[in-house]
Chains A and B, each alone.
Chain A
Amino acid sequence: DAGVIQSPRHEVTEMGQEVTLRCKPISGHDYLFWYRQTMMRGLELLIYFNNNVPIDDSGMPEDRFSAKMPNASFSTLKIQPSEPRDSAVYFCASSWTFSGNTIYFGEGSWLTVV
């Protein structure tokens, strides 16, 4: 299996620009997660989906952030407009069941907003 695939791996963008991060979960996984990791705040859950439906988006920092999952094999996390404080590593993860030992993470998208 190819694992969770994220793109882009690295992105540098200017403040105010729209950023779209993409994720392909492991085939057959019903849960998809978006996390953000910074030095200050550590690893934070932003939102997660079950069967393409958002279940909990309480971690989404503000309205500039949005996430969609149009089908079982694709999800996006969009930031519009981006700000320097959005600079972080964004991880996508997926799981085939609701448990704590079946979460598989991608390699992350490293975002720098200048």
Chain B
Amino acid sequence: DAKTTQPPSMDCAEGRAANLPCNHSTISGNEYVYWYRQIHSQGPQYIIHGLKNNETNEMASLIITEDRKSSTLILPHATLRDTAVYYCIAWDGKTSYDKVIFGPGTSLSVIP
């Protein structure tokens, strides 16, 4: 199972793009990269996922490097409500859910 590493914390100015990196150098070819976030006092919330191609939805964009060893979650115009812990998870979508590992994540602070 691929492990992911993320910086423990980041700051971002309100209105600017927040770029959250994730390293998954041991990811296997069939493992997706999932991003979740957890706002204080709430349960985690799914954001986006991808396998090889870059992905975009109404919440964020996901950029995966060609070698798939790292990815970046982009919040294009961060707001104060985006202050949360962001988790990057590598999982193949087939093995047991105990392989869906929420690590320490990155604590993003959006500053006014």
The reply to whether the CB of A61 lies closer than 8 angstroms to some CB of chain B is no
The verdict on A91 contacting B43 (CB below 8 Å), with A56-B98, A98-B93 known, is yes
16 contacts between A and B (CB under 8 A): A4-B43, A33-B97, A42-B103, A42-B104, A43-B38, A56-B96, A56-B97, A58-B98, A91-B43, A91-B44, A100-B34, A103-B44, A105-B45, A107-B42, A107-B43, A108-B42
The reply to whether the CB of A80 lies closer than 8 angstroms to some CB of chain B is no
Which B residues, 32 to 78, have Cβ-Cβ distances below 8 Å to chain A?
Answer: 32, 34, 38, 41-46, 48-49
Q: Considering the chains assembled together, what is the distance between the CA atoms of A111 and B28 in angstroms?
A: 37
Chain A contact residue count (CB 8 A cutoff):
24
A100 cross-chain contacts in B, Cβ below 8 A: 32, 34, 46, 49, 89, 91, 93, 100
Q: Considering the chains assembled together, what is the distance between the CA atoms of A42 and B91 in angstroms?
A: 18
A104 cross-chain contacts in B, Cβ below 8 A: 46
Q: Which of B41, B89, B91, B97 has the most CB of A within 10 A?
A: B97
The reply to whether the CB of A45 lies closer than 8 angstroms to some CB of chain B is yes
Are A45 and B98 within 8 A (Cβ)?
Answer: yes
A89 nearest CB across to chain B (Å): 9
Chain B contact residues (Cβ within 8 angstroms of A): what range? 20 to 34
Excluding A43-B87, A99-B93, 19 further A-B contacts by CB distance (< 8 Å) are A4-B43, A31-B97, A43-B44, A43-B102, A56-B98, A91-B43, A91-B44, A98-B94, A100-B32, A100-B89, A100-B100, A101-B49, A103-B46, A105-B42, A105-B43, A106-B43, A107-B41, A107-B42, A108-B42
B46 cross-chain contacts in A, Cβ below 8 A: 100-104
A48 cross-chain contacts in B, Cβ below 8 A: 97
Residue of B nearest to A44 (CB): B102
The reply to whether the CB of A59 lies closer than 8 angstroms to some CB of chain B is yes
The reply to whether the CB of A21 lies closer than 8 angstroms to some CB of chain B is no
